Structure 1
Amino acid sequence: MFQTSPDMQVVDIIQMSPKEVFIVGYLAGEVKPGAWELRRNGEAVATVQATGEVQVEAGRKGKLAPPRVISCQGQVDKKQFDFTQDEVTLAPLPHRDNTTSQAGS
């Protein structure tokens, strides 16, 4: 799968604990910590806080690149997604600079 979009094409969601979820998929480029939006067919479903990328070992068989795994804070109900029919993506949200929105400093 050749990925050029900044969005991750999600193939699985694994709830590791009540506070941590792993989102598995294909992504080109760097994983930046911060707010990411989980989308189903282009519509926002949830916002999670990415904390970083989990390092996984590539299998020795096959030549396809393994999916990447992003560790996020929060909970996501995997049952609301049908990965065979829905387009599920994870997109980074724009960074908000709070220094310009403070009044009268």
Structure 2
Amino acid sequence: MASRHMVLLSCFVFLAALHGIQAVHYAVTNNAGSSAGGVRFTNEIGIPYSRQTLVSATDSLWTVFQQNTPAERKTVQKVSLIIESMDGVAYASNNEIHVSANYI
């Protein structure tokens, strides 16, 4: 279970590093709600924890890359984490992170 959480956290960090984000809004959506992984996501991880992890990853990356002011950061309006039934583990596209419910 811990390794699966690490995959999820790694995806968050990857997206944040890729975009140097300054997110206005963090959105988390569970599109795999009734699947085993979707239920597990809801029961064991949840939307509030996922959103807070996105915020923490962003703050950590701003510190690591010494982006101390908004002027030093790329402006991004929204970052989305989407849990869904799909092949593969995860991928990032634009400002979205897609994670397979099969690996939660």
Q: Return the TM-score normalized by structure 1.
A: 0.25
Kindly name which structure, 1 or 2, has the bigger radius of gyration based on alpha carbons.
1
More helix per residue: 1 or 2? Answer: 2
- TM (norm. structure 2) is 0.25
Give the structure with the larger strand fraction. 1
